[in-house]
Structure 1
């Protein structure tokens, strides 16, 4: 049964469903792709896609495939959290990049995943599985573990009781081990990951805290395994995380909240 027949479905919800099938790695979709991914009737999807194109939320390429339009991108840049974070974090990311010539990124929590909102990458740095706007699992990435550790008891229990996918041979999927790492991360604000998401890639991450003591993002450096010592990278990552946090209003006397 098409989902358009479900009770309570509005035109607005159907428009949003068409828009949100666009994801990193799936940025150009045909009408058939949209129909398959939304589960809605062909005629309905075609009408919605053309309305979104007329409005500028989608663009239609000469080959007939649809991409996210300029007006939608402009709207996304107005999101207050991500835009202010990107702006404030940029000088620190540039300094880390200049010093280390590795991937340097900032991510925020959305649901049960980490979303990358900014990244600087050196040409010789290792290839990563996700780009800016992409999503990362919480249990096996540096930024993910920082965000999970400070995301509150409900999030932690939901993630640890769910499917903990083993992305690589060194992925940590034992809940009792992850609980220990979460406790350590809450205490230090940092997380270190060794080849848990991608073989040959490590990351060192630090929390970013606002003036209320709430962890709003995580900063990490992603390096090729054995290319640098983690303890050599950690002080710079910590200093950058503290610097961004200060710009967001955090001060040493403000207690960091874990929810």
Structure 2
């Protein structure tokens, strides 16, 4: 379930949040019945709260008695300081990569056990990609995701290892093999995937490292990657462009 708030003592706010959190990439449109099931709330409660959320612009009525996330939530969401600040700093570097490689460019951060795509620039090549700005995908099956997972806390890695869905025949779903890959990512400084998220799409990604002004240890704050039809050619050119951009972004974020 998207949220279990049917227990005694649940507040109106927690119930409203459960309704909003019921929406995800696989469920962008939901009926009242589906909302009640995914939020684990009684139908009368859902009906009353949905009316308030629609009136406030947090939800919008769609066709066929369905509901979607409202535009007002988007207006509020873009005020989040981490993604928007990162986007502002990274934007010129992303454009440089795009101009150099003509590939699909991704800027991403880790959101729990998922990779959150902060920005996406589409490439000219016809490469299938399921990502879009604001979407979340599994960490273990994407280039930017593997970079972020390699530098994530141990408890996050263990949580991901416990659930490794196979998305294509080439997705790595063996925990030990993935551990070895992540160790290699930390050693070599970049990650690659070959048709692990989508057939016909390969990726290469690098970490964006920021250093605090007070001298604290550098931390990986985001990942930068490109999606291409194949890594057999132009691999070095793509990697060099990513590394140069990542260093520039990291210095700007200091």
Same fold per TM (> 0.5)?
A: yes
User: Against the structure 1 CA distance between its residues 121 and 55, is the aligned structure 2 distance closer, same or farther, given a 3 Å change threshold?
Assistant: same
Instruction: List alignment gaps of at least 5 residues for structure 1.
Output: 250-259
Question: Aligned partners of 1:106, 1:86: CA distance in 2, in Å?
Answer: 8
> In 2, distance between residues paired with 1:179 and 1:158?
13
Instruction: Give runs of aligned pairs for residues 34-183 of structure 1, distance below 5 A.
Output: 34-61=35-62, 63-122=64-123, 124-160=125-161, 162-183=162-183
Contact (CA 8 Å) 2:206, 2:223: kept in 1 or not? yes
User: Contact between 1:24 and 1:133, CA under 8 Å: does it hold in 2?
Assistant: no
Q: Which runs of 4+ in 1 moved over 3 A?
A: 2-5, 61-64, 226-229
2:174 and 2:29 map into 1 onto residues whose CA distance is: 38
Q: CA deviation at 1:3?
A: 5.0
Match of 1:255 in 2: none
Q: For the residues of structure 2 that align with 1:105 and 1:77, how far apart are their CA atoms?
A: 18
Which one of 213, 218, 243 corresponds to residue 248 of structure 2?
A: 243
Compute the displacement of 1:227 (Å). 7.1
TM-score scaled by length of structure 2: 0.89
| Alpha-carbon distance in structure 2 between the residues aligned to 1:8 and 1:144 | 37
Question: Is the 1:209–1:215 Cα contact (8 Å) retained in structure 2?
Answer: yes
Taking the aligned partners of 2:239 and 2:134, their CA distance within structure 1 comes to 25
SS in 2 for 1:139: helix
Q: CA deviation at 1:96?
A: 1.2
TM-score (norm 1): 0.87
Counterpart contact for 2:53–2:59, Cα < 8 Å: yes
Describe the shift of the 1:62–1:152 C-alpha distance in structure 2 as closer, same or farther (beyond 3 A). closer
- Residues 27/157 of structure 1: CA separation in 2 closer, same or farther (3 Å cut): closer
| Count of equivalent residues | 247
